[in-house]
Amino acid sequence: MPETLLTRRTAQGATALRGGRAWRPTPYQLLGFLCWLLMTLAYWRLPLCCEAGQHAAVVERLKANLLNPRHPTADLPGEGSLYYSPYAVAQGLFARQTGLGGWEVLRVAGPLNLLVLLTGLGRLVRVLTPRPWAPVLALAPMTLLWANLGYPSTFAIGLTFWAWALTGARGRGPVRFVGPSGRPGLMGYAVLGVLYGLILLIHPITGVGAALGAVAFTAGHGRFRKGRGAVLNVRLSPRGRDKPPPARTLITTTTTALLTAALWPYFNAFEAPSLDFVTVQPPRGPTYAWAAQHIRPGEVVIADSPRAAQTIPGYGPNLAAPARRDPALDERERRGRLEDVRAYLSPDSTRAERTAIAHRYHVRWLLLTRLRTVPEEAVVVAWSPRTGEVLARVSPGATR
């Protein structure tokens, strides 16, 4: 048999059976991955402080008691605290399964939040324009968020991008949930409503912005010019051309979003004050691991520095007086605690007055700046060579 007959030839069109051309990454996928890698490395390299302490404290409380967590920063009931969002509960579950602490969970959350943010941004820009380099131009503002990657607000922003992209694309091309008229079915709108409800629960301020953006996309649906270079290239069936979406789809999305927020058991989302805005300044403050290694979780601390009060609860201790307002804590009680702490730290306070306050709140530790005099009944245990702050243990007799 001739050798040429034994040679296997590739049939014409065989590549079509394998899906056509080989996959090639888009400019956004390449640069987006590079952006994700560099921002993750920067986030892991620098210490976390300040607001991160509040979020780490939330993880610690949920790790200790998932169903009935205590207040994030004080030894008080935590029912009604806006910090206990679905995002935080998921972090608490992760901490319980892995044994990681609050600060470690925030480290892990940073790259995940960034992934949701970048993929949502790319999807949203592709809905607005088919130009492949358009999402790349949108990457620049994202670099301002590198210091806050572990915050719930960053995750909420990423979900908002995805929600807007799904809202804007509901009348374009093939969709996952399609009804008899060729439009997305009610199930798709219900899923979208759940997404908006989750955003509201995770970060109320972002939830309000997400809702406003959804209204803008809905109002402009089907009114954009078609063709190359259009802001939004919408393809509608003849029956639905230039017509607004049916009222029942809007009702479905809105009702599902409100139900999702209303059924959350940890707090009432509709009583949420204006919160957790996204800041862009890098963390420059000190860490308090040097002090936390001496304090057991749940022990009460008096701190005279706002930065220390924000950070130390992330390691597990409680504050005698929470610095931030929270619906879970009665404002009158919070103010009373703040006044007692000021009285304790006053240079004119007597030992008997300090003992009474320490007994009232079971104070075990003092975390004081270098300008504050350590009371005579406290013993210095550790100090920070960087800031001059000292950690002092209150005598057990002062809390009895």
Position 278 scores a pLDDT of: 38
Share of the chain above pLDDT 70, in %: 78
* Cα 148 to Cα 110: distance, rounded to the nearest angstrom: 8
Name residues whose C-beta falls within 8 Å of residue 198's C-beta, 6 or more positions apart in sequence. Answer: 86, 159, 260
| pTM of the full structure | 0.74
Q: Does position 322 have pLDDT exceeding 90, yes or no?
A: no
* Cα 92 to Cα 105: distance, rounded to the nearest angstrom: 9
Q: Where are any strands of DSSP class E within the chain?
A: 300-303, 318-319, 363-368, 378-383, 390-394
Q: Does position 121 have pLDDT exceeding 80, yes or no?
A: yes
Listed range (40-54, 180-194, 301-315) with the worst mean pLDDT: 180-194
Name residues whose C-beta falls within 8 Å of residue 128's C-beta, 6 or more positions apart in sequence. Answer: 134, 168, 231, 232
Q: Which of 92, 142, 82, 86 has the alpha carbon at shortest distance from 278?
A: 142
Q: Where are any strands of DSSP class E within 175-272?
A: none
Mean pLDDT, the chain, rounded, equals 82
Position 227 scores a pLDDT of: 40
Mean pLDDT of 63-67: 94
Indicate the domain borders of the chain.
Answer: 27-271, 289-399
* Cα 100 to Cα 7: distance, rounded to the nearest angstrom: 59
Listed range (86-95, 122-131, 365-374, 390-399) with the worst mean pLDDT: 390-399
